Amino acid sequence: MSTAQTLVDEAVHEKIMAAAEEIKAWGEAAEREARDLVNQPTINNWLEAMGLESDRFHQGEAPPSMAQVWTMYGQGGRHPDRDPLHAMMNVLTDAGFNGVLGTNSEQSYDRYLRVGEQVRVTTALDSVVGPKSTGMGVGYFVTSRSTWYVGDERVATMLFRVLKFIPKVTA
């Protein structure tokens, strides 16, 4: 008996992994532009919220850690139907894996963004690993890869991993 069979019904596991392969084949299907250009008021708000102070970031450059900020969906934002991360999360939710826990994020920055630049992001499904038995319950680790660009120039990347799981029942 395989590990998958002991943790998750084999038919369910095969359906999840088949969906993961299909979604991976989309490549960087989800692409969107930031709704706003890189701008000083948003940089100022970020600095204040994070308790950061740097003359550099008051002179037309954005902190590297803001890369994701420019392309976030905002209040009431809706992801596109072919967004790989959300599509995979929906597959797992439909299979009964309704718990979610962010586990880690690995970011790299190629250069600072500058006020006035238009940022866009692409997202792809990198991997789905599981089932795994964790302290939270049995689940799958889902990793997406986002890449930010200004024009054709890559400016930042991020691997984002979440655990999508069936919560343990505690007595």
Task: Indicate the angle between helix axes 84-94 and 10-24, nearest 10 degrees.
Answer: 170
The number of folded domains in the chain is 1
What is the pLDDT, as a whole number, of residue 1?
Answer: 45
Tell me the residue range of the domain where 151 lies: 3-167
CATH (domain of 80): 3.10.129.10
For β-strands 119-133 and 113-114, DSSP reports them as unpaired
pLDDT tens digits, 62-84 = 998 899 999 988 777 787 778 99
Mean pLDDT of the chain: 92
Contact 81, 134 (CB under 8 A): no
Average pLDDT over residues 123-133: 96
